Amino acid sequence: MSLPIDANRGNLERRVRDLIRDVPDYPKPGIVFKDITPLLASPADFVAVTEAMAAPFRGAGVTHVVAIESRGFIFGAPVAQHLAAGFVPVRKSGKLPFRTRREEYALEYGTDVLEIHDDCLTATSRVLVVDDVLATGGTAAAAGRLVAAAGGVVVGFSFLLALGFLPGIERLGERSLRALVTY
């Protein structure tokens, strides 16, 4: 399944594909890791990518961008700036200094926990959730549940990459979901 992409971004999609480096057998045999660091090292492409990740949500009244630790922070902060929105980090357990809300979610082998500050959102918060890669969708779904628990409304999800051969697109598909590149 391909995710919506603006026709004007076709060249950007090709550029992103050219810049993303495949690293076979990392972090374990059989995995092909999508290395985003060459993209991050290109200032013009990095700006273009964050602008493109924000663009579909310009008219959605986004008040906050929630980004998922850690690579989501890289994209979430500039996306928030492009949308003139606040930035809210979602972190692994024990990393935030104030009162938090927790969300446990399933991994392939076990569980993990994400946290958000208890006072970061209100009932008027309209939230865009940002991360680098959509794979199974478990982490993004957990972030969406945290937003709701903190009082906000998720208006959409924005990703640099989506792995279409994994169930993340279907798991989040009922919401507004965008990715610049789908593999």
Active site residue ranges: 71, 108
**What one-character DSSP code corresponds to residue 166?**
S
Helices then strands (H, E): number in the chain?
A: 6, 9
What are the φ/ψ torsions at residue 39 (nearest 5 degrees)?
-65, -45
Q: How far apart are CA 72 and CA 33, in angstroms?
A: 16
